[in-house]
Amino acid sequence: MVEDEGIIALELEDRIRSMGHECMGCRARGEEAVDLARIEPPDVVLMDIGLSGAMDGIETALRLREVADVAIVFLTAYADQAILKRALAARPEGWVGKPFRDADLRAALDSAIRERGARREGRPGDAAPAPRE
């Protein structure tokens, strides 16, 4: 997970574990996430679009795609069309709006895991869901 707001990161980690998924932890900066993915690539990355630092979440997702086979699920409170259009270039497997609901988080994670599995097996997966406005 890449989230720069500590309270949100802790809440997400709790929810992810309660859904039966393992959480490798949270990184607050995109650079840290990319460095970790080179060493120990995760299956799915929950990525806040609005990260502070040198790389926002979109740039981080693009860099992650260069170093590892990961599924990206964006977390966003943004409804700005220019940002969402730019985010689509990162080919996310899912989107979860903030504030997030457990059902939305579960659906996005499950879909991303299925998509990644299908990609690894060479089967075409479902198209990535469009962000809600």
Summarised one tens digit per residue, pLDDT across range 90-105 is 899 999 988 889 999 9
The neighbour count for residue 78, using CB atoms within 10 Å, is: 16
- Has residue 126 got a pLDDT over 70? no
pLDDT of residue 122: 76
Residues in the chain: 133
How far from 25 is each of 13, 46, 79, 91, 105, CA to CA, in Å? 7, 11, 27, 23, 17
Q: Which domains does the chain have, with CATH numbers?
A: 6-120 (3.40.50.2300)
Report the pLDDT averaged over residues 78-83.
Answer: 80
- Distance between CA atoms of 29 and 52, rounded to whole angstroms? 7
Identify the DSSP state of 76.
E
